[in-house]
Amino acid sequence: MRFFLPTVAILGALFAQTTSVQAQQQQGPRPTQPTQPKISTVYEFGEGTWPENLAVRSNGKVLVNMLEAPHLFMINPETKNATLIHESTAGTSLFGITEIQPDLFAFAVGNYSITTGPVDGTSSIWTVDFRHYEKTKEAPVKKVAAFPEAGLVNGITAISPWSSKIIVTDSAKALLYALDYNTGAYETVLAGASLGYAADAALKIGVNGVRTYQNYLYYTNTDQQLLYRVHINLDGHPTDQPEAVGSVWGDDFSISHDGNVAYVGGVLNNTVERVDIKKNKTTVIAGSRDSLDVAGVTSTALGRTKKDRNTLYMSSEGGLASPVDGKANPGRLLAIELDC
């Protein structure tokens, strides 16, 4: 999720007093898990940095895209060391990242300013290849497609191991694209109310993060404070109508290994929230609006090795978008152990 700072100044007064209150009046306050988990810092990027999205390799290394600079880092959670894998010359910021084949990842690039927002027509999708990285220490990067008509290519997710299509969100123009990463061809596969934002919204971000599990596509709508899902085919086309499965003021997220839970970064609430998809129930599992513990969590990802399978990794911008008493932490990669 991308929040530029003039809007952030408005958010502190406007959203805290209106939007959140309205949501609580309509849906009730978010319950908080009785005992919040211990939060650990895996890596600290520094003051003023904005870790934007993340993905976990099968060997446990964590890939982190940055917003304030076009940098892709790889973090080793065991040694707590970071390696700069790529510095893009195609744009000023990196956004979503997803694994499309074993150790082959796609990521989004675009021109973005934390003070003025996105620049139309600058978005593109690239791949970064780690399939031989352990031997060569090289991760080749290749352009897949440019999106000259897009406003802000943001979240991306693979559809299936049996499909060469990935889903791409345009948060500014409220669209979903299906992109063939082999050919670079893409098409609009979904538009409509579930992706959009109100005309008078202070923060003009509708559809935001996106993930798939089996035949379902899940996506957050930040303005509507909802998590949606829709059944799709292998080409990314919906086969039914979107349905809301959770109430959450969210950014990017991950789906649990069994597909029953979404772990959502509540970037403006300074929380991490657990959405029980079957029960349509949302619980705060870490943080609070007046705490910097997990301030500005922009995305989450579950560990993939036997050792960290129950670890939830979180990219945190430290509260730059939602400071506490005028303060923010450095950008960090955080982790908590889930009770599951």
List the one residue out of 76, 83, 99, 234 whose CA is nearest residue 157.
Answer: 99
How much is the pLDDT for 12? 41
Residue 137 domain-assigned (yes or no) = yes
How much is the pLDDT for 35? 82
pLDDT digits over 103-140, tens only? Answer: 999 999 999 988 888 999 999 999 999 999 999 999 99
Question: Does the pLDDT value for residue 26 go beyond 50?
Answer: no
Question: Does the pLDDT value for residue 285 go beyond 70?
Answer: yes
How much is the pLDDT for 3? 56
Residue 14 domain-assigned (yes or no) = yes
Question: Does the pLDDT value for residue 339 go beyond 80?
Answer: yes
How much is the pLDDT for 117? 86
Residue type, 281: K
Residue 280 domain-assigned (yes or no) = no
Residue 199 domain-assigned (yes or no) = yes
Residue 138 domain-assigned (yes or no) = yes
Neighbours of 131 (CB within 10 A): 13
How much is the pLDDT for 33? 74
Residue 233 domain-assigned (yes or no) = yes
pLDDT digits over 200-228, tens only? Answer: 887 789 999 999 999 999 999 999 999 99
Question: Does the pLDDT value for residue 8 go beyond 50?
Answer: no
How confident is the prediction for the chain on average, in pLDDT? 91
Three-state secondary structure call for residue 336? strand
Q: Domain of 26?
A: 5-31+49-255
CATH number of the domain that 239 lies in? 2.120.10.30
pLDDT digits over 304-313, tens only? Answer: 999 999 999 9
Residue 283 domain-assigned (yes or no) = no
In this predicted model, which residue has the larger pLDDT, 34 or 290? Answer: 290
How much is the pLDDT for 300? 98
Question: Does the pLDDT value for residue 318 go beyond 50?
Answer: yes
Tell me how many degrees the CA angle 324-269-337 measures, rounded to the nearest 5.
Answer: 100
CA dihedral sign of residues 209, 223, 285, 229:
negative
pTM for the structure as a whole: 0.93
Do the Cβ atoms of 190 and 167 come closer than 8 Å? no
pLDDT digits over 175-186, tens only? Answer: 999 999 999 999
In this predicted model, which residue has the larger pLDDT, 15 or 107? Answer: 107
How much is the pLDDT for 340? 64
Residue 114 domain-assigned (yes or no) = yes
Q: How far apart are CA 143 and CA 146, in angstroms?
A: 8
| pLDDT tier for residue 247 given thresholds of 50, 70 and 90 | very high
Per the DSSP assignment, residues forming a β-bridge with 314 are: 300, 334
Three-state secondary structure call for residue 215? coil
How much is the pLDDT for 19? 39
Give the number of domains in the chain: 1
In this predicted model, which residue has the larger pLDDT, 317 or 11? Answer: 317
